[in-house]
Structures are given as C-alpha cells and as structure tokens.
Amino acid sequence: MEYSLIADAYEKIEATTKRLEMTDHLVRLLKETPKDVIDKVVYLTQGKLYPDFIGIEIGIAEKLAIRAVARATGHSEKEIEEDIRETGDLGETAQKFLRKKTQVSFFSKPLTVERVYETLDKMARSTGAGSMDLKINFLAGLLSDASPKEAKYVVRTVTGSLRLGIADMTVLDALAIAFGGGKETREYLERSYNISSDLGRVAKTVAEEGIESIKEFEVSLGEPIRPMLAERLGSPTEILEKLGGKCTAEYKYDGERIQAHKKEDQIILFSRRLEDITDQYPDGSELTRKHVKAKEAIIEAECVAVDPDTGEMKPFQELMHRRRKYGVKKAMEEYPVSLFMFDALYVDGKDLTLEPYPVRRQHLEKIIEQTDHVKVSEHIITDDPEELEKFFEKAVENGCEGLVCKSVNGDSVYQAGARGWLWIKYKRDYKSEMTDTVDLVVVGAFHGRGKRAGTYGALLLAAYDPDEDVFKTVTKCGTGFTDEDLKKLPKMMEKYRIPHRHPRVISTIEADVWFEPTVVIEAMGAEITLSPIHACAMDVIRKDSGLAIRFPRFTGNYRLDKSAEDATTVQEVVEMYRGQLKKVAG
Ligand code: AMP
C-alpha cells in the first residue's frame, strides 16, 4: 500500500473539524487499505505502532528529527531551525525543504506503508549506544524517498505531533460503516475493543472475517480488558434500590487495581490504565503464580501494602512514597503487598465477561488458594440497609475506603470499559486530617510477627470515660515505634501484665496480652471514623457504632507524667470527631 494514500487522507482529516466528515475520510481510507495491513494503518492514524499496552512508543526528540531532515534535504540544521521559528512545526518545514530539493532521484521507489511502518518500528526498538545515529539514518532514509507531503506526516508521526484527533470511538464508527454493515454494528466492535484494548486487532478481524466474527470475539490472555468502573451513591437505601433490592457488598480496598494474566507460570500485571506493571510488583506476580490455581486466568485484584509486623493495611500513598524513595526491592521488604481478588474474567479457556457476577465470583473462589497475602475480597450478600451500613463501618475500621456494592442479577455482566450502575461504590464523604495528638492508655497488646517476633506487633489503646470510670478501646497502634521502643516495651509493660482483660477495660477486641490500665502514650491519627468494633463512644453518634482513630502512629512520647485517668477522654474524642465533620462541611 502506498503511503501517499495515508498522507492524502491525513490532509483531508486535518482540514475538517466535523466529526462526521472526519469519519467519512477515515472510512474511505480503511476501504482502500489492503486487509493485511489494516491494523498497521489504524495504529498509524493514532500516531502509534502498537496498542498502548505493548509499551513501544514511536517518539524521537525533535533535535534528532531536525538532523535527519537536514541530511535528507541537504540543508544545514541551522537553516531548518530558523524555518521552524516561522512555521512552528518541523513537519511543515520538512515539507517546504523537500519541495525545494533540486536533485530529484528518479530511481527512488514510492514509499509504502509497510516500509514506513517497519522503519518506524526499527527506530522505536533501537536503544543503547549508537542508537541515536541509527535512528537518524533510518529517518533520513525514509525522508529521502518521501514526497514533500509524505515527509510532513512522517516527521509529525515520529516526533509525536501528528494530532489528527482521531479518537478510539471515531475509529470504531468508521470500522462499523466500512466493514460492519452500518453504524448500528458499532456496539459489537466497541465490546471487542473493550475486551482487547487493541483497535488494530479489532480492525483486522472485522475486515478479514466480518462482523459475525466480531460478535464472537473473546478475551485473550496478554491483552488487557478495559476495566469496569463503579458509579457512586450516598446511602445504603439508595444503593439497594438501584441494585434491585439485593446486592453483594465487598470491601473497597485502598490500593492499586491490578489485572493479572496468568498463563502457566507466566504472569503479566496490568494497571488500571492498562500499562504493564509486572516489574513493579515482583511479589504480586509471585503470589499470583503460586495461589491462582488455574492454568490460565485473568483476574482482577486490589494490590495493597501491608505492614508485615502487624498485618495492618497501609494507606496507598505510603507504598507510593516508599517506592519512590527506596526502589522496588526495598519497598517489597518494608511493605510487601497483599492481593485482594475481586473478579475472574477468564479461566482455563472460558471467557467469563458475559457471565453474571455471582458466577464469576464462584469461579474466583474456586481458583484462589487463600493465604495471609492472597484473599478473595471480604463480602456479604444482603438486602438490608442497616446490615450494609454496619458492614461499611467494619470495612472502614479495617483500613478500607468503604464498599463496592455489586449487582447479583442475571444481567450483571462485566461491563468492560464502562462506568455503570452494576457496581456502586459507597465511601465516606467526610474525611479530614486529625490535627491534635491524643494521649491513650495501653490496655492490651498483640504479638508481633516477622521482624517483630518476640515483641509486640501492635498495642491496643483506650480513651478514658470519667462517667463510668472505665477505659474504652479506640484504636490498635503498630506504627511509629523504633527498634529501641520495641525492645523496651515488653520489659516495660511486664509489671502491668495480667492474665485477662482488666475489669475497667471495655473492649470487644480480644488482645493477646492484657495490661492493667496504667501506661499512657501519645499518638497521632489520620482521622476519626465510626466503628462497630471499638468501644469508645459506642451508641453516642450512631447505634451500634463506636469511634476509632484510623492510622494511628506513636509519636515517641511516653506520657509518664500522666496517670491513666489523665488520658484523653471519650468525650474529647467525640468532640474531635464532630469538629472534623464541621471542618469538612465548612
Ligand atoms: P474508584 O477508583 O473510587 O472509582 O473506585 C473503584 C476502584 O475501587 C476500582 O477501580 C478498584 O481499584 C477499587 N476496588 C477496591 N476493592 C474493590 C472491590 N472489592 N471490587 C471492585 N473494585 C474494588
């Protein structure tokens, strides 16, 4: 196929601002294109060589492209740079200088799409020492054989400034008209794109095999499925109503979404934006390899950083922050990830995307071997708004953002690439920083694991209730302790150790070790939330809910100056919670 056909189409597309006209030009181009190169033509019209998830990009620096244009036209780089100041576009300048070229080589062959594509591909793949010269040579070679107009578009393509504005949806429209039998067939093409993320493959399939083949298009290992997204509502009642009275509610883990593709021992992890992020999560890959008990599978999970000593989930920013600071290997040691699996889209040859959610979940539960670091998302099935609210509070208490409520109806398919009402998220809309520290009483402790074996993984802390003269638990704190603190703590607490919960301590949580409420430490939390688990302010704000301090951190201050009765009171925690709400509202 001659590249001039593409260049002519680009010129027309560039000249219009109307989407319909743009589509018409594209339809004409696609119809003129031999079927075996249609995928390449589609990628090229979007300034690409491959679908995004492959991660091979064209892009060379303008400076290098200037050198290639200089070489191909016999002008100096300086002349070219000066001209760019006038045209504002190296493509335009290249066209101009090629027109001026006096010596026409009569033996040059017309530029073909195949040759342009292959050359750009070689350029994109050459890396390392000497690759700059190589790239310039490749480009100069193409430009020497190009017409002025072709040169303009080749230059724009390699410098990433093609910008024809051809969106994915325009290509799908054009494909529907050119090969599908009309625009109304676009929905099938759209679905095949949503489950493959590869417009080139979609184009080739419909051009070569027709629309029937597109209707039977299935997911394919190695090609990311565009993620299904959730809508949002503000209350359990609204959510249940929207989902037909009943739903499955799952913890909404606060991490990074991952789509894992497993083929025997080979694992690819895709991000929500469909980038290959396998290298960023060697531990995530290993967990998938070991604990997904299917030969082939595509599953979705939330990848969450977990404190190895306490088992607590960390807010996602912490993992990002650490990764930037220390690199992957170190981060893996400090905060290994856990995977919370929430969907199965393909298992051993079977495309599950059109199955209702309960069926997909069944498959998921069957193939996941649950361990400390691999879990199927925590869930309940309910038709009761109160139960939903309680489960939500429990999710928040356990370090989650809230819930994702999912339809369990017959039509609850996986809506790839769409934000719809089959999934509804329920998050706290109040969230603010806690600005004051609190002084809390150490009433219990949990044994540490890993690096913290032999000492405490976390302390159970309580606020003082002067009305009842008791201590009510408000948080579990495992962060902020230095190695020295950790060594010191068991010794320091030994004399207060008792074999059971102290009668003045109110707690629904079972600690591994109990203490007489004596020692006070200072802590800082991220926020205060409703919690069904902690006893502090139980039933004060809401029935069956207490208050908890989220993401607490020991400040390093042992408040030896304070007696347990001088600790922060339950009333103070309530005021802090209310103040926090006001702050957000204001
Ligand atoms: P949002 O990013 O606020 O639109 O919420 C949707 C995101 O929640 C998804 O993209 C997932 O990354 C994340 N998520 C966490 N837990 C779940 C779950 N159980 N089911 C679905 N999505 C989840």
Q: What is the 3-state secondary structure (H, E, C) of 226-295?
A: CCCEEEECCCHHHHHHHCCCCEEEEEECCCEEEEEEEECCEEEEECCCCCECHHHCHHHHHHHHHHECCC
In a domain, residue 128? The reply is no
Separation of 321 CA from ligand 1 center, angstroms? 21
Both 289 and 366 in one domain: the answer is yes
Both 402 and 480 in one domain: the answer is no
In a domain, residue 147? The reply is no
Q: How many CB atoms lie within 10 A of CB 414?
A: 26
- CATH at residue 556: 2.40.50.140
Instruction: Kindly report, residue by residue over 442-484, the tens digit of the pLDDT.
Output: 999 999 888 888 899 999 999 999 888 899 999 999 999 998 9
Looking at ligand 1, which atom is closest to the CA of residue 423?
21
Q: What was the pLDDT predicted at 441? A: 97
What integer best gives the mean pLDDT of the chain?
Answer: 91
Separation of 423 CA from ligand 1 center, angstroms? 9
Q: What was the pLDDT predicted at 321? A: 59
Instruction: Kindly report, residue by residue over 155-171, the tens digit of the pLDDT.
Output: 999 998 888 878 898 99
Q: Of 381, 414, 431, which marks where a domain is finished?
A: 431
Q: Quote the CA–CA distance of 586 and 584 in Å, as a whole number.
A: 5
Q: What was the pLDDT predicted at 110? A: 87
| Exposed / middle / buried, residue 90 (Cβ in 10 Å: 0-12, 13-18, 19+) | buried
Strand partners, 515: 497
Q: Candidates 375, 404, 412: which one to mutate for ligand 1, based on the most atoms within 8 Å of Cβ?
A: 404
Confidence class for position 576, pLDDT limits 50, 70, 90: confident
SS3 of 427, please? strand
SS3 of 559, please? coil
Q: Candidates 253, 378, 398: which one to mutate for ligand 1, based on the most atoms within 8 Å of Cβ?
A: 253
pLDDT above 60 for 56: yes
321 vs 459: which has the higher pLDDT: 459
Residue whose CA lies nearest to ligand 1 atom number 11: 257
pLDDT above 50 for 431: no
SS3 of 127, please? coil
Both 459 and 574 in one domain: the answer is yes
Q: Going by C-beta distance under 8 Å and a sequence separation of 6 or more, which residues neighbour residue 421?
A: 231, 242, 243, 407
200 vs 581: which has the higher pLDDT: 200
Assess whether the C-beta atom of 567 lies below 6 angstroms from ligand 1.
no
In a domain, residue 8? The reply is no
Q: Of 375, 409, 431, which marks where a domain is finished?
A: 431
Strand intervals (E) in 509-584: 513-515, 520-524, 527-531, 546-550, 553-558
Q: What was the pLDDT predicted at 244? A: 96
SS3 of 97, please? helix
Mean pLDDT calculated for residue range 490-500: 91
Both 344 and 459 in one domain: the answer is no
Which two tokens mark 580?
A: 């926090």
Q: What was the pLDDT predicted at 433? A: 59
Separation of 414 CA from ligand 1 center, angstroms? 14
Q: Are strands 419-427 and 229-232 parallel, antiparallel or unpaired?
A: parallel
Both 299 and 373 in one domain: the answer is yes
Residue whose CA lies nearest to ligand 1 atom number 1: 230
Sign of CA dihedral 256, 259, 262, 267: negative
Assess whether the C-beta atom of 249 lies below 6 angstroms from ligand 1.
no
CA angle 176, 182, 186 (to 5 degrees): 40
Q: What was the pLDDT predicted at 106? A: 58
In a domain, residue 202? The reply is no
Q: Quote the CA–CA distance of 161 and 47 in Å, as a whole number.
A: 8
Q: What was the pLDDT predicted at 9? A: 96
Q: Are strands 247-252 and 546-550 parallel, antiparallel or unpaired?
A: unpaired
Separation of 227 CA from ligand 1 center, angstroms? 10
- Percent of the chain at pLDDT > 90 equals 68
Q: What was the pLDDT predicted at 160? A: 87
**Do 4 and 150 contact (CB within 8 A), yes or no?**
yes
Both 489 and 379 in one domain: the answer is no
Both 415 and 288 in one domain: the answer is yes
Both 484 and 546 in one domain: the answer is yes
Q: What was the pLDDT predicted at 584? A: 56
Structural domain boundaries, residue 281: 229-431
Mean pLDDT calculated for residue range 18-46: 95
Place of tokens 């704190």: 477
pLDDT above 80 for 528: yes
Q: Which of 5-19, 178-192, 367-381 has the lowest mean pLDDT?
A: 5-19
Assess whether the C-beta atom of 404 lies below 6 angstroms from ligand 1.
yes
Residue whose CA lies nearest to ligand 1 atom number 8: 252
Assess whether the C-beta atom of 232 lies below 6 angstroms from ligand 1.
no
Separation of 288 CA from ligand 1 center, angstroms? 19
In a domain, residue 1? The reply is no
Mean pLDDT calculated for residue range 343-369: 97
Q: What was the pLDDT predicted at 548? A: 94
Q: What was the pLDDT predicted at 330? A: 76
Q: Candidates 225, 247, 257, 365: which one to mutate for ligand 1, based on the most atoms within 8 Å of Cβ?
A: 257
Instruction: Kindly report, residue by residue over 189-235, the tens digit of the pLDDT.
Output: 999 999 999 999 999 999 999 999 999 999 999 999 999 999 888 88
Assess whether the C-beta atom of 250 lies below 6 angstroms from ligand 1.
yes
Separation of 255 CA from ligand 1 center, angstroms? 9
**Do 49 and 65 contact (CB within 8 A), yes or no?**
no
Looking at ligand 1, which atom is closest to the CA of residue 227?
10
Assess whether the C-beta atom of 377 lies below 6 angstroms from ligand 1.
yes
Mean pLDDT calculated for residue range 379-404: 93
Assess whether the C-beta atom of 252 lies below 6 angstroms from ligand 1.
yes
DSSP string, 460-518: EEEEEETTTTEEEEEEEE-SS--HHHHHHHHHHHHTTEESS--TTEE-SS--SEEE-S-
Confidence class for position 430, pLDDT limits 50, 70, 90: very low
Buried b (16+ CB within 10 A) or exposed e, 542-562: eeebbbbbbbbbbeeebbeeb
User: Which one from 252, 262, 314, 472 is the annotated catalytic residue?
Assistant: 252
Looking at ligand 1, which atom is closest to the CA of residue 272?
10
Task: Quote the DSSP letter at residue 409.
Answer: S
Strand partners, 270: 259, 276
Separation of 386 CA from ligand 1 center, angstroms? 22
Q: Candidates 248, 256, 302, 345: which one to mutate for ligand 1, based on the most atoms within 8 Å of Cβ?
A: 302
DSSP string, 350-393: EE-TTS-HHHHHHHHHHHB---SSEEEPPEEEES-HHHHHHHHH
Q: Which of 18-27, 387-396, 554-563 has the lowest mean pLDDT?
A: 554-563
Separation of 253 CA from ligand 1 center, angstroms? 7
Residue 425 phi/psi, 5-degree rounding, is -95, 150
Looking at ligand 1, which atom is closest to the CA of residue 256?
12
Looking at ligand 1, which atom is closest to the CA of residue 377?
19
Confidence class for position 323, pLDDT limits 50, 70, 90: low
Separation of 348 CA from ligand 1 center, angstroms? 25
- CATH at residue 266: 3.30.470.30
Q: Quote the CA–CA distance of 165 and 557 in Å, as a whole number.
A: 59
Q: Of 431, 463, 493, which marks where a domain is finished?
A: 431
Assess whether the C-beta atom of 71 lies below 6 angstroms from ligand 1.
no
Find, among 573, 567, 571, the residue nearest to 549 by Cα: 573
Mean pLDDT calculated for residue range 13-22: 88
Q: What does the longest C-alpha to C-alpha distance in the chain come to?
A: 100
pTM of the predicted model, to two decimals? 0.76
Both 293 and 410 in one domain: the answer is yes
Q: Which of 258-272, 352-366, 486-500 has the lowest mean pLDDT?
A: 486-500
Q: What was the pLDDT predicted at 103? A: 58
Assess whether the C-beta atom of 145 lies below 6 angstroms from ligand 1.
no
Q: What was the pLDDT predicted at 317? A: 63
Strand partners, 268: 261
Strand partners, 250: 379, 404
In a domain, residue 502? The reply is yes
Both 392 and 476 in one domain: the answer is no
Q: Quote the CA–CA distance of 229 and 420 in Å, as a whole number.
A: 7
Find, among 235, 227, 228, 229, the residue nearest to 426 by Cα: 235
Confidence class for position 434, pLDDT limits 50, 70, 90: confident
Q: What was the pLDDT predicted at 541? A: 87
In a domain, residue 110? The reply is no
Confidence class for position 102, pLDDT limits 50, 70, 90: low
Which two tokens mark 443?
A: 């009433």
pLDDT above 60 for 89: yes
Residue whose CA lies nearest to ligand 1 atom number 5: 230
In a domain, residue 32? The reply is no
Q: What was the pLDDT predicted at 397? A: 83
Assess whether the C-beta atom of 253 lies below 6 angstroms from ligand 1.
yes
Domains identified in the chain, total number:
2
Confidence class for position 582, pLDDT limits 50, 70, 90: low
Separation of 399 CA from ligand 1 center, angstroms? 14
Both 417 and 466 in one domain: the answer is no
Both 441 and 382 in one domain: the answer is no
Assess whether the C-beta atom of 527 lies below 6 angstroms from ligand 1.
no
Q: Quote the CA–CA distance of 189 and 204 in Å, as a whole number.
A: 11
Q: What was the pLDDT predicted at 55? A: 87
Is 406 a known active-site residue? no
Confidence class for position 577, pLDDT limits 50, 70, 90: confident
Mean pLDDT calculated for residue range 394-414: 93
